[in-house]
Structure 1
Amino acid sequence: MWQSHRVRVAVIGLGLIGGSTLRAFAAAGHRVFGYDADPATRATARTAAARAAPGARWQVAPTVRDAVADADLVLLAVPLPAVGPVLDEIAAVGYSGLVTDVTSVKEPVRRLVDRRLHRQHDRTAGFVGGHPMAGRETSGFTSADPKLFTGCAWVLCLEPPVTSVDDWLTVATAVTGLGARVVPATAEEHDRAVAAISHVPHLLATALATTAVTDPLAWSLAAGSFRDGTRVAASRPELVAAMCGGNAGAVRAALDEVLATLTAARAALDAQDPVQALVPWLTPGSSARGGWPPQPGRPLELPARPDALLRLGRAGGWITAVAEDRRTVTAVRPAPVD
């Protein structure tokens, strides 16, 4: 159905990510209905819709019920604490279409879907967990950008045998249509990975900013290293708390690894020659960062089977397109390092 440009999409939650998906789906020609619990946000979105180009407009619904009515796809873009109540509302109207989300932790959402959506009515809605790696330190609908997902990695969770492959491919087609590259993973794999590359960096950025602000001289001298290392510290504390707290187990493990590595750096500073002692500590990280991001290899076709898709994701690969017959996907793996 996603080859057609008259698919109906409901976006619940109109912050940065929700507002950006709303705008992106509308720009792609789909019929899009948005809803946000905040009346001021709904008013802002309505005003923006009136000013948008005719072919890229959307509608703002007064309730969740109105937004999801007859929707082919419902996208949840609310913070983790709000996911359960929204799922209750969707279940209460007997929605039986396809649901995805953009929450930054996946295991808690998967459990909520199982308890709050799949068991409340006979007409079971399909669900595919998702997470676009496209956040910014700014938030709110006014920061929304329809091009936010161009080239970004968008994780779609695949849980054999629970996840319907057809549902997964439908969401993958929708996401690649926004310019994103789809990364297949299980919820557990996703949560472990993002703890290391997203959640712990938020904690480190906050720690650096909190420490530096106590010294007026340091605060006035802060430049590129401080800016790049603390950018995400400007994120809303409530969102970061929900993200890290919702993934507490994986974040603890990743943070323990970072703390152990920093402890080794602290020990190097106590060496008789701290300059020489720090070189072997710094080298692995310098080498790793120099090789990021990985360079893409040549596109290839893979069978659209769960085992092949998950192997692709575990190898650091991604999907750029789904074949119309749903039998194959166009995939890319990182190029071998010389």
Structure 2
Amino acid sequence: MPAPPVGVVGLGQLGGSLAAALVAAGRPVAGWDVDPAARDAAAARGVRITRELSGVVVLAVPLPLMATALDGLDVDPDATVTDLGSVKRPVLEQLGRALGSRYVGGHPMCGTERSGHAAVDAGLFTGARWALCLEPGTELPRWLRVAEVALAAGAEVVPVTAAEHDDAVAAVSHVPHLLAAALAAAAGRAGPLALALAAGSFRDGTRVIGSDPAFVRAMVDGNAGPTAAALARVQEQLARPWAELVADGHAVATRPRGRRAVRVPLDRAALLALGRAGGAVTRRLAAFVEGRLPDDGLPDDAVPDGGVPGPA
């Protein structure tokens, strides 16, 4: 059975990169952007530019524009709609109310501080983790259609709920943006000598705050509760004796990162257990998916309803 077409709304860095990756993978891709330059750039990469979208429709627009992203477009009433937004609960409330079970929330954990169609990279998703929301009302066939889009782009799919996603990314994405801002602002106040001596550690620690400030504000404000809680945990860590803090942080950052293969049935509980254990889906097969768990994750019997070790 042929894969459904993909329509991408918003052809900037994320949407344009996804469209380019899918074209390279042989998927039929249509797209639209309000910016004529973005449309022209996508067309040059093989994307069919049109307002008529069907199959799996991907919203790759800023968070404040999610609710109106489909206005003026001719979308097949049976299309599955997903998004690439960095916060999931508010988008679920908006789009879930309008689209019902047709909506499947998503968030690829990739991107750079650059933005716009000039930052498009067809390899952006290769090896990235792509969180894909599996709520109680999510239709599994639609979830799988979106998962297959993510896999075709080169990503690995992490099954989550919207609430789990927002709590997790507050710690590993949203707080780092705030810490990068704080580090840059503090260094700026330290004077020109400090900035002149800044090297790799400062550059790495402040890279993400080179992102569009409007994007960062929308992200942290849209996930304010979990971000505040995660930031409080960081502040508690900074109050510890420095030797203990450095040792514990080093242990987390340098822990072994091996992975082992598992097979998981097409069941919501089993898929979510895979995600909660730090695993991801790497391939869709007929009656189950193949995935990987970290070596230091939960044992195989923690993946319920038939999860078994996969091929070596």
TM-score under structure 2 length normalisation? 0.90
Q: How does 1:131-146 map to 2 (within 5 A)?
A: 131-146=107-122
Match of 2:69, SS? helix
Contact 2:83 2:104 in 1 (8 A): yes
Residue among 159, 164, 168 paired with 2:143 = 168
Query: Cα deviation per residue 1:24-60 (whole Å; 9 max; x = unaligned)?
Result: 11111122111112233223434xx1xx4xxxx1122
What letter matches 1:18 in structure 2? G
Matched, 1:312 2:309: no
Residue among 111, 117, 121 paired with 2:99 = 117
Matched, 1:296 2:271: no
Structure 1 pair 228–302 and aligned structure 2 pair: CA distance change class (3 A) = same
Q: CA RMSD in A?
A: 1.8
* Equivalent residue, structure 2, for 1:34: 31
How far apart in 1 are the matches of 2:9 and 2:163?
25
Q: What is the deviation of 1:96? A: 2.1
* Equivalent residue, structure 1, for 2:304: none
Contact 1:87 1:117 in 2 (8 A): no
Structure 2, unaligned runs of 5 or more:
298-312
* Equivalent residue, structure 1, for 2:242: 278
Q: What is the deviation of 1:89? A: 4.7
What letter matches 2:78 in structure 1? S
How far apart in 1 are the matches of 2:179 and 2:78?
42
How far apart in 1 are the matches of 2:87 and 2:222?
7
Computing the radius of gyration from Cα coordinates, the structure with the larger value is 1
How far apart in 2 are the matches of 1:201 and 1:195?
9
Matched, 1:128 2:104: yes
* Equivalent residue, structure 1, for 2:60: 77
How far apart in 1 are the matches of 2:31 and 2:94?
22
Q: What is the deviation of 1:173? A: 1.7
How far apart in 1 are the matches of 2:40 and 2:79?
27
Residue among 182, 186, 189 paired with 2:157 = 182
How far apart in 1 are the matches of 2:76 and 2:122?
30
Contact 2:158 2:275 in 1 (8 A): yes
Matched, 1:330 2:274: no
How far apart in 2 are the matches of 1:331 and 1:247?
29
How far apart in 2 are the matches of 1:223 and 1:81?
35
Matched, 1:23 2:20: yes
What letter matches 2:6 in structure 1? V
Q: How does 1:260-271 map to 2 (within 5 A)?
A: 260-262=236-238, 264-265=239-240
How far apart in 1 are the matches of 2:221 and 2:70?
20
Structure 1, unaligned runs of 5 or more:
119-124, 266-276
Match of 2:157, SS? strand
Match of 1:117, SS? helix
Contact 1:304 1:329 in 2 (8 A): yes
How far apart in 2 are the matches of 1:12 and 1:67?
11
Aligned length in residues: 296
Q: What is the deviation of 1:236? A: 0.4
* Equivalent residue, structure 1, for 2:49: 60
Match of 1:45, SS? helix
How far apart in 2 are the matches of 1:94 and 1:147?
29
* Equivalent residue, structure 1, for 2:188: 213
Q: What is the deviation of 1:87? A: 4.3
TM-score under structure 1 length normalisation? 0.83
Match of 1:182, SS? strand
- Percent of residue pairs identical: 47
What letter matches 1:261 in structure 2? Q
Structure 1 range deviating more: 30-39 or 71-80: 30-39
Contact 2:52 2:75 in 1 (8 A): no
Query: Cα deviation per residue 1:65-111 (whole Å; 9 max; x = unaligned)?
Result: x241xx11100000110000124556x85622111111001111110
